Structure 1
Amino acid sequence: MLIKRRFAIAFIVAALLTGVFSVAHAADIAVIHSSEVPSRWTDAFVRGLADGLGDAASIEQGWLGPPDRGDDFFETRFEVLGKQFSDTEPAVVITDGSTAFSFIRKYRESLFPGVPVVYCSIPRPEPEYLGQCGECTGIPMPLSMRETVHLIFRLRPDTTTVVGIMDGSPESLKYRREVEAAMEPYLDRAEIVFPGHEYGDEGGLDAELIRTVANSVPRRGAVLFLGFDRDNAGKQVDPAAIVETLVARSAAPVFGLTDQWIGSGMLGGVMVRAQAQGKAAAKVVQRILAGEPASEMLPEAVHPVPVIDFTALARFGIQSTRLSGETVAVNVPQHPEEPSGAISTGTVLGLAGVAFLVLIAVAIRRRSGCPRGRKSGQ
């Protein structure tokens, strides 16, 4: 009995030591987001990252903000993040978005000296930028402008107008050129316009003008949201509020380039899902933790897929048969092909049949209720 007790104690002690050891050696991963606050994108990205890493690492997040606030703002963020990570020695730093990547290129050696960097949520950077972040690799995420334009016309071949919403930033101007190139096969039957950024209408947009634009979109049109962070007065705006306005006021469906807005009423687009981007980043982190040099890696981009909100699809009466087999369906109603609140023809006929049977049963009961041998009216 004493020997068994000693073995049991030894087993418990060994288990406890093993647990302590594994926790102590779990890698710390720092994720620096470009945004100032969490969003659908950041939540899904970190969820995918955590799913991919499992118990192999713990994740700590840092937040930045819009890049046009100036050097003083980012110096302040540098100080804040320095305090936040003062007791942490991350094994890998992940940047989420272009602002975070630029920030880490400037401050990595002060914040995380010698730590490998994995960029995410941006197109493939120029080689010189990769060299500025030391031991660096990443998951490129090109935006699928051309594929999203093709999706618009596959779902609604009779589209006559595509309305591009942009804020005039250098990034959005680049997107505009790509959209215009993608529209070329359709210019014999449709037009592309960018309100606030056309010849004779170059004043840009603000929240009130966007409401006006949304109200004027024709039913056979489509809205393509390219991003909107600053209005024509340079004032920062909430892009989520802009998408909400477009969805609520436009008589045509709204399309986008990232799944951050899926679930807000936007119909969809061809895009990389945030959770898939996070899982891809987790695979790269695991390779780094296994000893592979980050600078020698060439990870492939995550394949973009059509992501469609089926409730929005039903709202505009679009048949799901127009979608490709790789489409990711979200927000699927019980009857996606029927307008919200509609009753199917089969249901109406079924109810009518039941009512008819009830009437027959009532009539039979009334007839059988008359006493035998007694005429009606006696």
Structure 2
Amino acid sequence: MDRTGKFRFFLFVLLMFFCFSKVAFAEETILVLHSYHNGYPWTDAISRGIAKVFDQRDKEVNIYVEYLDAKRASPNRFTLFLENSLRLKYKKKPPDIILCGDDDAFIFMNHAGRRLFPKVPVVFCGVNSRESLTEEIDSLTTGLIERLDIEGTINLALRLFPVTENVAVISDLSLTGMWIINQLRESMKSYEGKVNEINLMGLGPDDLKKSLRELPPQTIILLLLYAQGGEGEYYSPDEILAIIQDATDLPIFSVLEMMIERGTLAGSVLRGEAHGERAAKLAVEILDGKAPSSIPIREDVPVSMGNYTGLKDLKKSLQSLPGDMILFGEPETFFYRHRRLIAINVAITSVLAILVIALLWNDKLLKREVLNLQSETEHLEKLFENSPHGTILINPRGEIMRANRAFLRMFGYGRKDVKGKDVDSLLAKAGDLLRHAQDLTIITGLGGVVSGRESLRLRKDGSLLPVMISGYPLVTKGMYRGSYGIYTDISARKNNEGAIRQHLRAEEIISSLSAALVKEKDFEQTILSSLHDLRLFFRARYMSVFLFDRPDKGRGTAFIRYEGEKEMGRKVFPLTFGETEPLRRTIQSQTVFFLEGKSPFTWDTEEKKQILETTPDETVILLPLLRDEAMAGCVCCVFVREKGNDHEEHISEGLLGIYSLLLGSALSRYETELALEKNLLLLSKTFKETFHLMSRLLEIKDPYTAGHQQKVAYLAKAIAERMELPHNRVEAVFYAALVHDIGKIPVPSSILSKPGRLSEAEFAIIKNHARFGAEILSAINFPWPIADIVLQHHEHVDGTGYPHGLKGDEISLEAKIVCVSDVVEAMSSFRPYRPALGIEEALEEIQKKRQIWFDSRVVDVCLHIFKETGGEFWKEITKSSHNV
């Protein structure tokens, strides 16, 4: 490489390093502006939530935090100073996004902040009301509103202390405090005549202590916000709580999370860390390219929270608390943490035990029926045995179950020789005869009748016997159980007819071998059968296939078809290293090996030598057998060459070459399919049985919906297939539909089977079944989103469904399919509270609610299926569900 080339290469490397460096060191700058000071619990909790979200970013994130300190000083005094400070700090590198916490920070950003950072998106949180949001908010601003749940806190207090007569309210008179007091005035209107309000607002510490000591019994204390004393001095949450607890033992409730963490009893609160997380997630969406104007401003939802130690000291039963209450300081014992899961497992085990008892009782009844059938069976057996025609009973796999005396005498077999044998393989062996026999078997297998067909069948000694064959299917309860065949000996009439057909020509043999190697499951039997056909075609003394094991094993197997009387001239020998190694060396050096005269190969046993040793007048053709381009063995043909017949020798070499290629491909496919089939069959059987068992569990609890989930599953699968969904999504629809009501197991049977209209409370319990089902199924690692589909199958397109009121594309297509199928089946079937409405009314209902409740595409496909097939489709689904 000359100097110019080296210089260009250096420039290219330098350019690539610069590009990758820009990518590697890409970073995001986040500015967090808090209204209050560092160390204030609410502010610190929001900071933790924001940091938690950005710690999960796959980019480097720099978070800068500024504080207005509004609790301890008026921010108006240094707003200009803060504005100038921020201008200097972020002049060179403005932040990519700004998060502001609470009203003071939001007001600052909405005015001075827009002068500083006019093009930077802003996400706010902790803003106390929508009244704080003026029309000046631009398209770059969105966020979360803090809603104090005063009513929820008072309701919780009255639930814990139902004899309460007075509510003593404590608050300071700061701007935030006054806003909370205004909210209190609206909330207390709901409690007029129920409890009395005692005003302790705006008091200094000493006056507050005095007033607290004078409170009457049957009073609860509602602590709103107390950060400033009567003269504006700052009090921390710990300090004000110590003042209150030092003055009174009355129960204290609060609307602030930080106060419950420090010892107040309970309240309906916003969790600061979760509030910060939600705001940070909105910021992440904006950083990832979503426009702030497309993100609506939302109110954050409070949660019930209690202080475990305080409730325990009051000796309040934890079972009397709301089920969704968060208990601060709750001990994490194993049984307490997993109590719901343990209860569910106990319930499932009980149901399974009942199922086992029912099965044992059913088995007892079944045995009684068997005894009643034995006498009828004996009578039929006598008729069968004494028939003058050869008669056999065949199972669905084509295996002989019974043969009468006339059949055994006709073909020269004993009973043990024929029982369990494939009738076609036994009486036809191979070739046209076998195909003809298989055709007749297929006819009866499809429910057809074979009457008076003349053909040839093989006797045990190998001779051909002319027979007349009739076959009739055995069908009970609409299911094919097998067939029975009748053979009549017509040899006296056929002694002078026809000669044996000529063997297949070369192309036909290859076709037969190819089909056999693809279709037949018994690979070794297929090799022996194919060698037999080739030996007859080549008029060879023997045909063989030598298969080698892996090279490090040095062993092999010989499959041989030869001229012999014993075992119809077939042998399968194990080969030693000394026998396979010369074969391997020979075929590795030549593509086709011809040998005339005594073979140089050695055989270890006399039986092998007797069959495989060649004579001087015999010719040996040896071809390699490749499996995935690796040596797997060889094909060998030993025959006596006819002089002057070079054309036939050329045909023989070509056919053997094609056979070697087909056998190598079949060997590779056979070994692969053998391993896969074993695993897939076991997995598929276990998987399907598990799903059907889960489906049956609900039917045991609610017999009125027996078959409901199966019919919904078949209809949903038909819709998914018509919509041309991929196979894995069709499977997801089917199995999700099969267990879509599994969440009704925890629902009381009295509600499921109630004949009348459900009350609002009962219907609320029923509506939880989608969530219960999703919780049960989410613990199982399915290859499809089964839990999500079950959770959403009662959601409506217009958002009126449950449990989450999802709309449009928020609902998965699979859940929309299950929803329509569920409604069609439920309306057309009987329920305890109403008769069956019929399939026509069900289809009319989904048509009315098309694109309101139900997805238009799903409805159109469903209606098309019923219009195209009529009632036959629904009858077939009903039949299939009964047979599951």
**Residues 147 and 301, structure 2, Cα contact 8 Å, conserved in 1:** no
Report the counterpart of residue 168 of structure 1 in structure 2.
173
Instruction: In structure 1, give the amino acid aligned to 2:168.
Output: V
Residue type matched to 2:121 in 1?
A: P
Gaps of 5+ in 1: 1-13, 197-203, 336-378
SS across alignment from 2:261:
coil
Which amino acid in 2 is paired with 1:118? V
CA 1:51–1:66 in structure 2 vs 1: closer, same or farther (change >3 Å)?
Answer: closer
Using the alignment, how far apart are the partners of 2:221 and 2:297 within structure 1?
33
Q: Is the partner of 1:149 in helix, strand or coil?
A: helix
TM-score (norm 2): 0.33
Aligned to 2:67: 63
1:111 pairs, out of 109, 112, 116, with 116
Residues 43-122 of structure 1: pairs in structure 2 closer than 5 A = 43-53=44-54, 54-55=56-57, 56=59, 57-66=61-70, 69=74, 71-86=76-91, 88-122=93-127
Alpha-carbon spacing, 1:333–1:311, altered in 2? closer, same or farther (3 Å): farther
Q: TM-score, normalised by structure 1?
A: 0.74
Give the corresponding residue for 2:23. 21
Give 1:194 deviation, angstroms: 1.1
Determine what percentage of the aligned residue pairs are the same residue.
24
Consecutive aligned runs of 4 or more in structure 1 exceeding 4 Å deviation: 14-20, 184-187
Q: Higher helix fraction: Structure 1 or Structure 2?
A: 2
Q: Which moved more, 1:33-42 or 1:267-276?
A: 33-42
CA displacement 1:15-59 (0-9 Å, x = unmatched) = 99968734x323111110000223222222122222223234332
Cα deviation for residue 220 of structure 1 reads 2.8
* Residue 178 to residue 128, structure 1, CA distance change in 2 (3 Å): closer
- Report how far residue 132 of structure 1 moved: 4.2
For the structure 1 residues 184 and 121, does the alpha-carbon distance in structure 2 shift closer, same or farther, using more than 3 Å as the test? Answer: same
Residue 308 (structure 2) aligns with: 310
Q: Please tell me whether residue 284 in structure 1 is matched to residue 282 in structure 2.
A: yes
Contact 1:167/1:230 (8 A) holds in 2: yes
CA distance in 2, matches of 1:152, 1:143: 15
**SS of 1:329's equivalent?**
strand
- Residue pair 2:102, 2:128 contacting (<8 A) in 1 also: no
- The offset of 1:170, in angstroms, is 4.9
**Offset of 1:239 from its aligned partner?**
4.5
- How many Å apart are 1:124 and its aligned residue? 4.4
User: 1:297, CA displacement in angstroms?
Assistant: 1.4
For the structure 1 residues 267 and 20, does the alpha-carbon distance in structure 2 shift closer, same or farther, using more than 3 Å as the test?
Answer: farther
Amino acid at match of 1:329: L
Question: After superposition, what is the alpha-carbon deviation per residue over 1:158-216, rounded to whole angstroms, capped at 9, x for unaligned?
Answer: 122211111234543443343344344544452111125xxxxxxx3112122223333
Structure 1 counterpart of 2:79, one-letter code: F
- Kindly provide the amino acid, as one letter, of the partner of residue 53 in structure 2: G
Between the aligned partners of 1:134 and 1:74, the Cα distance in structure 2 is 24
**Counterpart Cα distance in 2 of 1:240 and 1:172:** 18
Letter in 2 for 1:107: A
Q: Deviations over 1:82-104 (max 9, x none)?
A: 44444542111111001110111
Aligned partner of residue 195 in structure 1, secondary structure? strand
Alignment deviations for residues 48-73 of structure 1 (CA, whole Å, 9 cap, x no partner):
22222323433211100227726332
- Mapped to 2, the partners of 1:321 and 1:192 lie a distance apart of 29
Rounded Cα–Cα distance in structure 1 between residues aligned with 2:317 and 2:41: 27
Query: SS in structure 1 opposite 2:220?
Result: strand
Q: How far apart, in 1, do the equivalents of 2:84 and 2:206 lie? A: 37
Contact 1:97/1:120, CA 8 A, preserved across alignment: yes
- Relative to structure 1, is the Cα distance of residues 15 and 327 closer, same or farther in structure 2, using a 3 angstrom cutoff? farther
- Whether the aligned pair in 2 keeps the contact of 1:195 and 1:205 (CA below 8 Å) is yes
CA RMSD of aligned residues (A): 2.9
Of structures 1 and 2, the one with the larger relative CO (CA 8 A, separation 6+) is 1
**More displaced, 324-333 or 94-103?**
324-333
Between stretches 164-173 and 38-47, larger displacement belongs to 164-173
The within-5 A match list for 1:152-231 is 152-195=157-200, 204-231=202-229
What is the alpha-carbon distance in structure 2 between the residues aligned to residue 107 and residue 179 of structure 1? Answer: 32
In 2: Cα distance, 1:60 partner to 1:137 partner: 20
CA deviation map 1:299-319 (0-9, x unaligned): 433321101111111222322
Q: Is the 8 A contact 1:82 1:111 kept in 2?
A: yes
CA distance in 1, matches of 2:41, 2:176: 21
Match of 2:271 among 270, 273, 284: 273
Amino acid at match of 2:212: A
- Structure-2 change in CA distance of 1:307 and 1:195 (3 Å): same
**Per the alignment, in what secondary structure is the counterpart of residue 164 of structure 1?**
strand
- Quote the Cα distance in structure 1 between the aligned partners of 2:243 and 2:98: 36
- Report the number of matched residues: 314
Determine which of 315, 326, 329 is the counterpart of 1:328: 326
**Distance in structure 2 (CA, Å) of the matches to 1:268 and 1:15:** 59
The one-character-per-residue Cα deviations of 1:250-275 (angstroms, maximum 9, x if unpaired) are 21122222212232111221111111
Q: SS state of the match for residue 285, structure 2? A: helix
Structure 1 residues 333 and 286 mapped into 2: Cα distance closer, same or farther (>3 Å)?
closer
Structure 1 residue 154, shift from structure 2 partner = 1.0
Equivalent residue for 2:363? none
Q: Shift in Å at residue 130 of structure 1?
A: 5.6
What SS does the corresponding residue of 1:262 show, helix, strand or coil? helix
Q: Could you tell me which amino acid in structure 2 is paired with residue 328 of structure 1?
A: I
2:126 counterpart of 1:125: no
SS at match of 1:158: coil
Q: 1:88 to 1:63 in 2, by over 3 A?
A: farther
The alignment status of 1:145 with 2:159, answered yes or no, reads no
| Aligned residue identity for 2:285 | R
Q: Distance in 1 between matches of 2:101 and 2:79?
A: 16
Flag structure 2 segments of 5+ consecutive residues without an equivalent. 1-15, 334-884
Please identify the structure whose Cα radius of gyration is greater.
2
Q: Tell me the residue number matched to 1:39.
A: 40
Report if aligned partners of 1:149, 1:183 keep a CA contact under 8 Å in 2. no
| Structure 1 residues 44 and 169: CA distance shift in structure 2, 3 A | closer
Tell me what 2:701 maps to: none
Determine if contact 1:35/1:65 at 8 Å carries over to the other structure: yes
